[in-house]
Copies of this chain bind each other. A is one copy, B any other.
Amino acid sequence: MDHKILQTARELIEEAGYPALTVDQVAVRAGVGKAAIYRRYASKAEMAFAATMHGQWPPPLTDAGSLYEDLLALARAFHVRMATPTARQVAPALISELAGNPDLDAQFQNTFLAAEHAALAEIIERAVGRGELAGPIDPTIAHLLLLGSLAAGLYIINLTVDDTMITELATAAAAGIAALADRHHSGNPQGATQPQ
């Protein structure tokens, strides 16, 4: 039934856009009760998020050869999934709901964000293994630098994000992560970027 609900939601969003979507429509077309939908998803935004963005995210990403290439591949995959017209309608609505709904936020933290953090932890571990980083850093910070900045561009600032911008963010995130690894793992606690 999950699959049917999400497939129907995707169809309706493609046909008429996210603002026109209702849980009623999905229930009627999918042939399920509204209660069945609300048992799974607390709101229209959560259902739409599950239908359009969440599934199979992040994709398995193999070792691309370097910290920079790994970050670039993750940012590109995020962009493919998260910068569609539908995503740019659904994500801001979900952001608004997360702020007022601790249960939904906990679910978002434990699924979607946890998967992104795991992907970044793996990328950092590979970079440490290659000798590119002096040691591991908190994946939360790496996540904010790469995907937080990209999400802010897409959903808060409403930028048109092209591949040039993605390569710039990946370049900067790689350098930033290296600077933090130096700061935490070198003999100099101030790090190379802090001249004081």
Contacting residue for A175 out of B92, B144, B152, B192, CB 8 A: B192
Task: Give the residues in chain B near A68, CB-CB below 8 Å.
Answer: 193-196
A100 within 8 A of B: yes
Task: Give the residues in chain B near A171, CB-CB below 8 Å.
Answer: 176, 179-180, 183, 191, 193-194
Which of A26-34, A51-59, A156-164 lies on the face that meets chain B? A156-164
Task: Give the residues in chain B near A155, CB-CB below 8 Å.
Answer: 95, 99, 156
Interface size for A (C-beta < 8 A) is 57
Contacting residue for A176 out of B65, B145, B158, B183, CB 8 A: B145
A23 within 8 A of B: no
Residue of B whose beta carbon sits closest to that of A161? B144
Contacting residue for A92 out of B99, B143, B174, B192, CB 8 A: B99
Distance A158 CA – B108 CA, assembled complex (angstroms): 10
A93 within 8 A of B: yes
Shortest distance from the beta carbon of A6 to any chain B beta carbon, whole Å: 22
Of residues 106 through 150 on chain A, the ones whose CB sits less than 8 Å from some CB of chain B are 109, 113, 138, 140-141, 143-145, 147-150
Distance A183 CA – B66 CA, assembled complex (angstroms): 17
